[in-house]
Structure 1
């Protein structure tokens, strides 16, 4: 829960920073003042907000998905589909983390156009975000396996506002 809270705070600060940076750059450009560094800073913040936000969405099961077919299956079958998907997702995340780490290493000498910092700070968002999502996916796989072991699939029941179960 601490990691989730930290991610939520990071997302709020990151999104607020993006809004302020882009708005200030636009207003100052109107008055003829240069704030070109804000574009690079916004790019850096955006990369981190995207990957940390993806993990936050995954933790809360808020990723977009098409469940029209899967929702018609029994809870046991849904659990199997989710387990398969989670194993597939973890494989993909491992690939992105490995190649993202390589990208960080390759970009360590490259700097932003207007900021005197390494571009690796932006590319590091991919392996860090994927590592967080790998942890989240492992927790989900553990839940799927425990559902099978206990033959209890109640954790998959959809809840609507008001507490009713679908």
Structure 2
């Protein structure tokens, strides 16, 4: 198997940028860079290949690969005649987006909902909580519950329809009464 030694400029630019974007999303830069690298690889790659190509410590690569597997964004692939682990990324962008959204919902939205529900329940029975604070907690809960319901609904929409909705953008708002 040919070892990867030098990345094409466009791939390196993408890997570096994806790593930067990961930082904005709360994902470790190395994890995001490895994900980008595997998404653009034309074949399954060993952890050693990743470490060499991205000039990363093998331990960092190993930890990052485990995290990517936990998000179900990459998978281990057996290669006949090679005992090393090889990895490939999910390359369907819709599937990647879906898995990331599901992971973020589970790690962020679900715990926020649980906490807000408890806070509202406690605040409603606590006479020391100012009505303004209670109102704002309830508004945040309502907003978060709406996001949660929207996520549940949007995950059932077929991809072609979802793509059509995305392409419509703000024009879809014209169909909703009461707004510009």
Asked if these proteins are the same fold (TM beyond 0.5), I'd say no
TM bin (shorter chain)? 0.3 to 0.5
Which structure is richer in relative contact order (CA contacts within 8 A, separation 6 or more)? 1
Q: Which has the larger radius of gyration?
A: 2
TM-score normalized by the length of structure 1 = 0.38
More strand by share: 2
